[in-house]
Amino acid sequence: MKLPKPVGFEWDKGNVDKNWSKHKVHFKEAEEVLLNKPIKIFLDNRHSTEKEKRYLALGKTDSGKPLAIVFTVRNKLIRVISARKQNKKERTIYEKK
């Protein structure tokens, strides 16, 4: 899936702290995943609304850590909702060519 070209990231204190405290994922790691290739992005139909689409990105950090990032795009900015390690099923999907 191809997204419109975002121009940056939007972070609020709650999300920065939440992803670190719950999943030990630093916000910079989430950004790396969304900027690195290869990346696989899927529409998250289950959590999307008519007003706002949510996406799931599967990718790796600069250090090779496989992460799953849930995000939305608002005013050309990526807003990360959740960042965590990929589960086994997600790793299998990501690693398929």
Residue 91: domain span: 8-95
**Average pLDDT estimate for 39-49:** 93
pLDDT at 67 over 90: yes
Count up the domains in the chain and report the number: 1
pLDDT at 2 over 70: no
Flag whether 1 is in a domain: no
Flag whether 91 is in a domain: yes
pLDDT at 97 over 80: no
Q: Which residues of 7-33 are buried (b: 16+ CB within 10 A; e: fewer)?
A: eebbbeeebbebbeeebebebebbbbb
pLDDT at 3 over 70: no
Flag whether 2 is in a domain: no
pLDDT at 13 over 90: no
Rounded Cα distance, 55 and 90, in Å: 14
Q: Give the model's pLDDT for residue 95.
A: 94
Flag whether 3 is in a domain: no
